[in-house]
Chains A and B, each alone.
Chain A
Amino acid sequence: AQSVTQLDSHVSVSEGTPVLLRCNYSSSYSPSLFWYVQHPNKGLQLLLKYTSAATLVKGINGFEAEFKKSETSFHLTKPSAHMSDAAEYFCVVSDRRNGGSQGNLIFGKGTKLSVKP
């Protein structure tokens, strides 16, 4: 069965410093992986996705993530945090039900990012 583990429930950084949000996945197949961001009382916005192409994926707002099969990790990074980055971040793997034809999402529990001035 597939699963996603977000290693930190809460990360706090200072504005202008790097961001690292950690994610490990479990999958018997080549996974599709996503990072979504959710600001308070808003829907989820796709930051980036990995679907077996380049292992370093660049997303919106300066975020990027690297797929490391040997470590089963898909950590999200940003060189310099901005106040507007404060939000909840979800690492997500796409379900392989029915040989991958279903596409249902399996969410991690989320990491709340706080950015201090």
Chain B
Amino acid sequence: DAMVIQNPRYQVTQFGKPVTLSCSQTLNHNVMYWYQQKSSQAPKLLFHYYDKDFNNEADTPDNFQSRRPNTSFCFLDIRSPGLGDAAMYLCATSRERGQTYEQYFGPGTRLTVT
């Protein structure tokens, strides 16, 4: 089945220690998104890639970066995680970047910062 896969599902890192979260997709979609979702809150968009074109949201901290080496994979790098970065991180894809295109979400990676 075509899907969005996130690894690992649970990640524990230490305060200030860089961490990378991974997302892959078998849908061959052009757009890949990263969201941060804190407890009992709606997902918050961090950035997205349209093909190789990176689009950062204005309020995304510099601590968060992303890489998309090919169509299938996208990575979220947190350079120096703080306690406030503990959250669920959701990857999503859409076929195209337009108002009518739905997004398909992965299962998420729950990040704990100790």
Residues of A within 8 A of B (CB): 31-32, 34, 36, 41-46, 49, 51, 90, 94-96, 100-105, 107-110
Contact = CB atoms under 8 A, between A and B. Distances in A.
Given A43-B108, A44-B90, A110-B42, A51 B100 contact: yes
B7 interface: no
B2 to A, nearest CB: 14
Contact of B105 (A45, A51, A95): A45
Interface of B: 4, 6, 31, 40-43, 45, 48, 88, 90, 92, 94, 96-108, 110
A32 B108 contact: no
A94 B102 CA distance: 9
Contacts of B88: 41
B42 A107 contact: yes
18 contacts: A32-B99, A43-B106, A43-B107, A43-B108, A44-B90, A49-B102, A51-B99, A95-B99, A96-B99, A100-B98, A103-B96, A103-B99, A103-B100, A103-B101, A104-B48, A109-B42, A110-B40, A110-B42
A90 B37 CA distance: 13
Q: Which of A95, A100, A104 has the most CB of B within 10 A?
A: A104
What 4 A-B pairs come out closest when comparing CB atoms? A107-B42, A100-B99, A43-B105, A44-B105
A46 B92 CA distance: 12
